Amino acid sequence: AKSAGGNRFELADPEADARVITRHGLTTALPAALERGEFFIEYQPLVHLGDGSVHGAEALVRWLHPQHGVLGPDRFIPLAEHTGLIVPLGRWVLEQSVRQARAWRERYGETTAAGPLRINVNLSPCQLAHPGLVQDTVEILERTGVAPDALCLEVTESALIGADDDLLKPLRRLAEMGVDIALDDFGTGYSNLANLRRLPVSVLKLDRSFTQSMQQFPADPVDLKIVEGIVALAHSLDLAVTVEGVETGAQAEQLRILGCDTAQGWYYARPGPPERLHELALVDATA
Ligand code: C2E
Ligand code: CA
Ligand code: CA
Ligand code: CA
């Protein structure tokens, strides 16, 4: 702690105090925030690397806090996981996102120029462990009339490392229904590549760190070899490869050459309101 002159009341770090208060305050405010409708969802398009057409979108939740303004998920998802609020919050995100997918499909038809328009939703490990997951998902899809194969649930690699069969069972059931399961942040969790065969996943989402290493063109030859190897393995296991964090055209080109299937990142679009995808899909349909 810093000691300022003779004033011993300045010993504490006021910023640390503020952080603690905010953390505690945010945690206790979460349930009311959900009831008052302070959460909203931004959508970030996923595009086919081959032709740049829209493949779908990932739902990313935000909190419009009455005092602190818009808070990103990194600020409150861990708190919601800690208190268990992630279960109702996650269910809300799923329902909203699937409804949005329905609305897009009603407006543009079941398919874009590139195929069915899909919706990706993040799933916390707590939701995976919650017994209502499969039933909630089935009910939401039935209520909205969206086909299971339009939905992709993203689970982080770290959540599935060492997961026993009980934890994988709900994912298997969803996969059997036709829901896609994506392994998110792939490459950060030291998982055994052979382990992939055991998991009911159909998509690998390569972590942004790989994309960052493609900043230069041509990229570092070792990084290229690693991504090339992952893509080859994924394709041999019938998994599609999505890359995240694509910020430049050079990265997109490099990843396309390496055989990645779909991409997401600021180069194409930042996360935004659902109308923004309307514009992209429209461009797509008239192209
Ligand atoms: P994620 O699933 O890996 O999502 C991708 C993150 O990368 C998003 O951050 C997105 O805005 C950001 N991003 C996208 N393109 C680029 C790019 O080109 N460059 C850079 N630097 N960043 C990019 P965001 O929205 O802050 O979300 C952070 C994390 O919060 C997500 O990481 C996800 O793990 C979690 N999250 C978001 N929404 C939900 C949700 O509804 N439920 C759960 N359980 N977690 C969520
Ligand atoms: Ca994700
Ligand atoms: Ca990710
Ligand atoms: Ca991430």
User: Average pLDDT in the 163-180 region?
Assistant: 93
Dihedral (C-alpha) 250, 278, 185, 136: value to the nearest 10 degrees?
-170
**Judging by DSSP bridges, how do beta strands 54-65 and 39-48 pair with one another?**
antiparallel
Do residues 154 and 179 lie in contact, with contact meaning Cβ atoms separated by under 8 Å? Answer: no
51 vs 182, more confident? 182
18 vs 250, more confident? 250
156 vs 117, more confident? 156
> pLDDT grade, residue 4 (50/70/90)?
very low
- Residue ranges lining ligand 1, Cβ < 6 Å: 44, 60-61, 72-74, 77, 90, 93, 122, 124, 154, 184-185, 244-247, 264-266, 271
Q: Averaging pLDDT over each range in 9-18, 35-44, 98-107, 154-163, which range is the top one?
A: 35-44
Instruction: Check residue 3 and give its pLDDT.
Output: 45
CA–centroid distance, 185 to ligand 4, in Å, is 5
Instruction: Assign 59 to helix, strand or coil.
Output: strand
User: Average pLDDT in the 164-187 region?
Assistant: 94
Closest residue by Cα to atom 35, ligand 1, is 73
Which atom belonging to ligand 1 lies closest to the Cα atom of 123? 44
Instruction: Check residue 5 and give its pLDDT.
Output: 47
> pLDDT grade, residue 287 (50/70/90)?
very low
Ligand 1 pocket mutation pick from 30, 39, 42, 60 by most atoms within 8 angstroms of CB: 60
Overall pTM surpassing 0.80 (yes/no):
yes
Residues 261-283: pLDDT tens digits? Answer: 999 999 999 999 998 876 665 44
Residues 95-110: pLDDT tens digits? Answer: 999 999 998 888 776 6
Q: Report d(CA 266, CA 249) in Å as an integer.
A: 10
Which atom belonging to ligand 1 lies closest to the Cα atom of 127? 44
Instruction: Check residue 53 and give its pLDDT.
Output: 86
Which atom belonging to ligand 1 lies closest to the Cα atom of 246? 18
